[in-house]
Amino acid sequence: MHITGNTLLVTGGGSGIGRALAEAFLALGNEVIIAGRRESVLKEVADANPGLNYVVLDTSDAAASKRVAEQLIVDYPTLNAVIHSAGIMRGESLRAGATELDATVATNLVGPIRLDGLLLPHFLKQPHAAIVTVSSGLAFVPLALTPSYCATKAAVHSYSQSLRYQLKDTVVKVHELAPPYVQTELMGERQANDPHAMPLKDFIDEVMGIFQHSPDAEEILVERVKPLRYAEVNGGYAEFFKNFNDQMAAARSGE
Ligand SMILES: NC(=O)c1ccc[n+]([C@@H]2O[C@H](COP(=O)([O-])OP(=O)(O)OC[C@H]3O[C@@H](n4cnc5c(N)ncnc54)[C@H](OP(=O)(O)O)[C@@H]3O)[C@@H](O)[C@H]2O)c1
């Protein structure tokens, strides 16, 4: 994607990766609109970043997505890019049923696919445009503690490929950002302070470097996510999967 000259919507832009990317693109002179469910959070971020706009949107809500997308196109006729950072990640014990399935699928998978459908006709009329999906290293090696989450992220990877293929002869470029474990509050405060997670600033710096130096990269992969991304290609997947999940389960049992 072009790193300047965009009018960019960042869902989940009130916190974590979405907020940091919104601020990075704003600093480069792009027009940026952040979206999320909590207006107080969005307002606080907008107040801290002069020029940053916000819109309240629950991306799991079909009617709200349609209404807000239509209004955004009216309010920002040059809107040409979206980063789908809105997401939820919750633990589930499948023996008790996939209690988080509906909300997770609605937010992580249906939300971005539906929003793309609403924005694409407009994006296709722009001189250049970009859709950035946000999957995860866990799309490639599932963390068994969060089964619905990992299933949605694997599906986002699949969808991103189909979307890119269907749009290959158009102005709309499709990038899949697959973060590693990063210090945000995705799973609560503990994650934001976990020394095993990648510091948010380091992650964003590396991501922005990739956007800048490899504007055609189909997948945005920082070095830290590559062991997960390429686990299957690298061979010994079954062992990698087992060791990864055994380590994570052991870490959790010690809490
Ligand atoms: N941090 C990591 O380790 C990591 C790793 C891999 C992938 N990711 C992905 O990166 C993305 C950003 O996560 P993060 O780590 O930055 O966590 P985060 O700080 O919790 O950000 C998630 C954002 O999504 C918003 N959101 C949640 N549900 C929404 C909905 N239905 N509609 C609109 N906005 C919604 C939240 O704001 P509201 O509650 O105000 O709506 C929040 O601002 C997610 O897709 C996540 O899966 C993160």
Please tell me which residue in 54, 76, 149, 165 is annotated as part of the active site.
Answer: 149
Residue 198: pLDDT band with limits 50, 70, 90: very high
Closest CA to 34 of 78, 72, 60, 63: 72
Closest CA to 1 of 119, 125, 115, 131: 131
Q: Tell me whether residue 238 is in a domain.
A: no
207 pocket-lining for ligand 1 (C-beta < 6 Å): no
Q: Report the percent of the chain where pLDDT is more than 70.
A: 99
Q: Within its chain, how far is the Cα of 156 from the centroid? A: 10
pLDDT digits (tens, 9 = 90+) for 28-87: 999 999 999 999 999 999 999 999 999 999 999 999 999 999 999 999 999 999 999 999
Structural domain harbouring 61: 7-228
- Please say if 54 is a catalytic residue: no
Q: Which residues contact 113 (CB under 8 A, 6 or more apart)?
A: 159
Q: What is the CATH number of the domain that holds 99?
A: 3.40.50.720
Mean pLDDT of 105-112: 98
Mean pLDDT of 181-191: 96
Q: Tell me whether residue 55 is in a domain.
A: yes
Cα angle vertex 144, ends 140, 148, to 5°?
80
Mean pLDDT of 104-130: 98
pLDDT for res 252: 79
112 pocket-lining for ligand 1 (C-beta < 6 Å): no
Q: Tell me whether residue 1 is in a domain.
A: no
Give the span between the Cα atoms of 215 and 85, in whole angstroms.
Answer: 19
CB atoms within 10 A of CB 89: 23
Is the pLDDT at 5 greater than 70, yes or no?
yes
Residue 255: pLDDT band with limits 50, 70, 90: low
Closest C-alpha to ligand 1, atom 47:
87
Tell me the CA distances in angstroms from 149 to 44, 106, 146, 154, 187, one per residue in order: 28, 11, 5, 9, 11
Give the span between the Cα atoms of 136 and 156, in whole angstroms.
Answer: 9
The per-residue pLDDT of the chain, averaged, comes to: 97
pLDDT digits (tens, 9 = 90+) for 209-240: 999 999 999 999 999 999 999 999 999 999 99
Structural domain count of the chain: 1
Q: Tell me whether residue 241 is in a domain.
A: no
Q: Tell me whether residue 253 is in a domain.
A: no
Given the CA of residue 153, which atom of ligand 1 is nearest to it? 47
Q: Within its chain, how far is the Cα of 229 from the centroid? A: 16
What pTM value is reported for the model?
0.98
pLDDT digits (tens, 9 = 90+) for 123-145: 999 999 999 999 999 999 999 99
Look up residue 41 and give its two tokens.
């959070």
Q: Tell me whether residue 246 is in a domain.
A: no
186 pocket-lining for ligand 1 (C-beta < 6 Å): yes
Residue 254: pLDDT band with limits 50, 70, 90: low
Q: Tell me whether residue 204 is in a domain.
A: yes
pLDDT for res 224: 98
Q: Tell me whether residue 249 is in a domain.
A: no
